[in-house]
Amino acid sequence: MPHHTPPSPPPPPPPLLGQGFHWQDLSVGQTFRTFRRTITETDLVNFISCTGMLEAIFIDAEFDGGAIAGRPVPGALTYTLIEGFILQTMIQGTGLAMLELHQKILHPVRVGDTIHARITVTEVRPTSAKGRAVVSSDITVFNQHEIEVMHYSAKRLLAGRPE
């Protein structure tokens, strides 16, 4: 009778590109920076149309409110663009929930400005639910002149490494 060799197990899958950090990979004091992104007129129009933020200062290119020159964009647009960077990189596949957010808008952002952010981890607190932790961070948003335009702190629930 011929000897039969059992098939070898399949190789493990290759690493997943774009996977965010599990909470065990983060520590207090770690700092990251996002890519830069120029805000366009299309970004403004799409955002205000989608959200209903059809305020005169955003829809009238010649609006003269006196206080802000240029084409200002809603602070919510600036915030969501930075959160998009964070989601696509730092918490993709590991972010479970935004638990708390405190935000300050410091300077206007306009169409044509290029923004980026610095993220600093301020707390990593494992929860009683196995495999999860509350991760707090400070996010500072800058324009192309390195002027701080927004600052916010966020508490997120992150998943741990699979056991």
pTM, 2 dp: 0.89
As given in the structure block, the two tokens for residue 25 are 């990979």
pLDDT tens for 121-154 read 999 999 998 899 999 999 999 999 999 999 999 9
Per-residue pLDDT at 7: 86
Per-residue pLDDT at 84: 97
Dihedral over alpha carbons 118, 38, 21, 100 (to 10 degrees): 70
Those residues of the chain that have pLDDT short of 50 are none
Distances (CA, A) of 131 to 75, 124, 137: 34, 13, 19
- All structural domains of the chain: 23-159 (3.10.129.10)
Per-residue pLDDT at 1: 65
Please, are residues 136 and 66 in contact by the beta-carbon 8 Å criterion?
Answer: no
As given in the structure block, the two tokens for residue 81 are 């663009």
CA–CA separation, 126 and 135 (whole Å): 8
